Amino acid sequence: MNPEELLQKNVSHQLTAEAHGHDVRVCMGAGCMSLHSDQIKSALTAQVKQHGRDKSCHVKGVGCMGLCAAGPLVSVEPQGVLYKEVTEEDAGEIIDSLNKAPVARLICPTDTPFFQNQMKIVLENCGKIDPERIEEYVNADGYIALIKALTEMTPNDVITQVMRSGLRGRGGGGYPTGLKWTTVAKADGTQKYVICNGDEGDPGAFMDRGVMEGDPHRLIEAMAIAGYAVGADTGYIFVRGEYSMSVKRLRKAIMQAERQALLGKNIFNTPFSFQIEVRIGAGAFVSGEETALIACIEGRRGVPSPRPPYPAERGLWGCPTLINNVETLANIPSIIRNGADWFSNIGTRTGKGTVVFAMTGRVQNTGLIEVPMGTPLREVIFDIGGGVPDGGTFKAVQMGGPSGGCIPEQYLDMPIDFDSLLEIGAIMGSGGMLVIDDSASMVDMAKFFMEFCRIESCGKCVPCRVGTVQMHELLIRFSEGTATERDLVLLEELCDLVRHTSLCGLGQSAPNPVLSTLRYFRHEYMAQIRPDFGANGVDTHESRSTS
Amino acid sequence: MKTVKSAAPSTDNRWRIVDAAMRRLGFQPHALIETLHVTQETFGFLDEDALRYIAATLGVPLSQVYGVATFYRAFTLKPKGAHHTCVVCTGTACHLKGLPEILAALEAELGLSPGGSTPDGKAALMTARCLASCGLAPAAVFDGKMVGNLTSATALKRIRQWVEHES
Ligand SMILES: Cc1cc2nc3c(=O)[nH]c(=O)nc-3n(C[C@H](O)[C@H](O)[C@H](O)COP(=O)(O)O)c2cc1C
Ligand code: FES
């Protein structure tokens, strides 16, 4: 029996969607939910009843549709229309129009670059399927990759595919995923673990949340495949404490998968067993760092430990542990299903596949987007993003949050991948993309991120604990216009020191926002230096008046 | 498997919820953070009795329980005083799109600063690291209800409503 047949046979509840005439999808992503899309869903459901269309129309909640800026969003299939800025009052009209022309005043055009220029792998189901129903995921080819792996491939075959796909980690480091899997698979020990890192600490990123809430089964499938490949029987999904909806959806998905024998003992009657537990973070940026995250799961303070040993050799409870980011794992089912060659044909030479960005700030189309690696930033910001609104002028784009850097206009045509970004002092990071226009001060942005690092520093190592405080103090002086030339020298020295001597990535990358703004917007720092302060920091004004 | 070995701090039935959480994870020391989450959800905060009880039941030194409870931002050792809470997002996009001005207005007009409450103690202002609604920046949560595209005027209006409503 091939994987498809196996699934058909086993997932008992068959989808009733095809029987329905219309599928009305209401976005229940974080952005639309904050505009109370849940109430719109209730209103639509009530209208369906009122119109007596219960049998021919199905209203469902789906994950983030991407264009959060135009929310709340509602789409109707098979009509293929997207409605924007929908209110409860519009519900009647929308249901009324199902067999007629769509409601013109609410239509959100989808022939725009925002929809046409994207390429979805990680987010392929987001905004389409009901994340709370396993049947919908299965109907979208879900769990086929897992069954294919378990029934047609050896663990080594799986790793070979991941290796050949060229997939690199999306959690910040860009480490080759296949290599990491190999290390864990080869590590000594009978007990191994898989951890999915859903801590998403960057204060401007919501890609992982989009996947956890919009397509949770995808992660479960990926983790089980990873477990099979490296020889682990237990997985943990570590979710940021603030993401209560993600926790709820993941837990529900795990239960559903267990019921269908897609998780648990002897999955699909193979010798492979795998269980997954959700663990909730408790609010500490540093606990997204892998060694700190492991401490957190073990019930300790989430502070990092020196590496090596790397978790791949000695991780959770001293056992070899595979730890991957949400977005990294979300690529796995597609790679196994479509093959490594399919994946490695997308992107650039050193960056394969797609990348998901949470685009925010001074840009028209704020939201969640996915583009092939190598897409120039100009296309992302000006075509897909729709450029800077309200007649503002683009100044820079900040990528990678508190560990990243900013990219000025002159590099916008460069294809984005891990290496090209590093070269110009930014990082791919976790995928937060903040568009900055000329109304913002770059010194202020650097100060903002440094304050974040200062607060989030766990205090274990001195350079980071003390250095971030000192750098923040200096940046306050710059932003208030009371800095001296000596402060600039000091700031640069500190950046260098903290970067090279901190224990973990938090401290090592904390200077990045300062260094990159100094590199491209040094004049903004210079403009904040008090002219009557001498080069040695002595107030020449004062020394004159007292003498 | 271990069983509950120390008695709950009181006969309050809510301790059963805490016990259930610890039991689910086999009373293992690594159940600590989960247990603290559940306890806080149940009681609103973590008092000394709770910390001692959890320490004894999971066999974790009290110092470690205290260390963990004070390390993470999600846990609080003090009861929440105010009736109403406003949680403003201090994430990057909200910062860029005018949160500093809103905070300044709340401070100037209502004497409300992050971590504090209004002089009558009715409304408290808290901050969150990115509510992941950056598309609607600036964003805040008023008594559990998310509000996007926040302005100083709407923030002031909502908090004034709370304060005036109750007097
Ligand atoms: C301070 C700090 C915070 C981090 N936060 C996250 C995070 O929130 N999510 C994440 O996936 N990785 C985070 N990382 C990176 C992880 O340590 C780890 O490299 C990553 O989860 C590995 O997954 P990948 O190989 O799939 O990228 C962080 C690292 C540091 C130093
Ligand atoms: S939350 Fe609805 S489009 Fe993003």
**pLDDT of B11-67, one tens digit each?**
888 888 899 999 999 999 999 999 999 999 888 889 999 999 999 999 999 999 999
Q: How far apart are CA A255 and CA A247, in angstroms?
A: 12
pLDDT in the model for residue A536: 52
Q: Answer whether A432 touches B (CB < 8 Å).
A: yes
| 3-class state of residue A151 by DSSP | helix
Please confirm whether the linkage preceding A72 is cis (ω < 30° from 0).
yes
Average pLDDT over residues A167-191: 95
Distance from CA of B165 to the nearest CA of A (A): 24
Within 8 A of A287 by CB-CB distance, chain B residues are: 72
- Which ligand lies nearest to the CA atom of residue A324 in the structure? 1
CA A382, distance to chain mean position in Å, is: 21
pLDDT in the model for residue B1: 47
pLDDT in the model for residue A533: 56
Write out the H or E segment, with its range, that includes residue A464.
helix A462-480
Whole-model pTM: value is 0.90
Within 8 A of B139 by CB-CB distance, chain A residues are: 34
Domain formed by A20-110, architecture: 3-Layer(aba) Sandwich (3.40)
Query: Bigger pLDDT: A35 or A291?
Result: A291
Just give the CATH number of A442-527: 1.20.1440.230
Q: Pocket around ligand 2: residues whose beta carbon is below 6 Å from it?
A: A 27, 29-32, 64-68, 71, 73, 367-368
Mean pLDDT, all residues of chain B: 87
Structural domains present in chain B: 15-71 (1.10.10), 84-165 (3.40.30.10)
Amino acid code (one letter) for A247: V
Average pLDDT over residues A70-93: 94
CA A454, distance to chain mean position in Å, is: 23
| A167, A325, A329: residue to mutate for ligand 1 pocket, most atoms within 8 A of CB | A325
- Ligand 1: nearest atom to the Cα of A197: 11
Cβ of B92 within 8 Å of Cβ of A362? The answer is no
Give the confidence band of A10 by pLDDT, cuts at 50, 70, 90: low
Q: How far apart are CA A73 and CA A84, in angstroms?
A: 5
Among chain B residues, the shortest Cα distance to A316 is held by: B30
Is the separation of the CB atoms in A148 and A237 below 8 Å? no
How many whole angstroms from A73 Cα to the centroid of ligand 2? Answer: 7
**Would you mind telling me the total number of residues written for chain A in this entry?**
547
pLDDT in the model for residue A30: 86
A302-337 confidence digits (pLDDT tens):
999 998 999 999 999 999 999 999 999 999 999 999
Query: Bigger pLDDT: A100 or A541?
Result: A100
Q: Which two tokens stand for residue A247?
A: 């926790």
ipTM, 2 decimals?
0.82
CB pairs under 8 A between A and B: 133
Contacts of A72 (CB under 8 A, 6+ apart): A26, A27, A32, A35, A36, A37, A40, A85, A86, A87
| C-beta atoms surrounding A208 within 10 Å | 33
Domain formed by A141-338, architecture: 3-Layer(aba) Sandwich (3.40)
pLDDT in the model for residue A544: 43
Q: How far apart are CA A406 and CA A434, in angstroms?
A: 9
**Domain A20-110 and domain A141-338 have a common topology:** no
How many whole angstroms from A364 Cα to the centroid of ligand 2? Answer: 14
Query: Bigger pLDDT: A16 or A168?
Result: A168
pLDDT in the model for residue B147: 87
Among chain B residues, the shortest Cα distance to A359 is held by: B135
Give the confidence band of A543 by pLDDT, cuts at 50, 70, 90: very low
> Domain locations in chain A?
20-110, 141-338, 354-434, 442-527
Q: Answer whether A144 touches B (CB < 8 Å).
A: no
At the topology level, CATH places domain A354-434 in Ubiquitin-like (UB roll) (3.10.20)
| 3-class state of residue A45 by DSSP | helix
Average pLDDT over residues B100-118: 89
Q: Let me know how many helices (H) and strands (E) chain A has, helices first.
A: 24, 13
Average pLDDT over residues A91-103: 92
pLDDT tops 80 at residue A6: no
pLDDT in the model for residue A160: 98
Phi (first) and psi of residue A391, to 5 degrees = 65, 15
How many whole angstroms from A84 Cα to the centroid of ligand 2? Answer: 10
pLDDT in the model for residue A203: 85
CA A476, distance to chain mean position in Å, is: 30
Cβ of A301 within 8 Å of Cβ of B71? The answer is yes
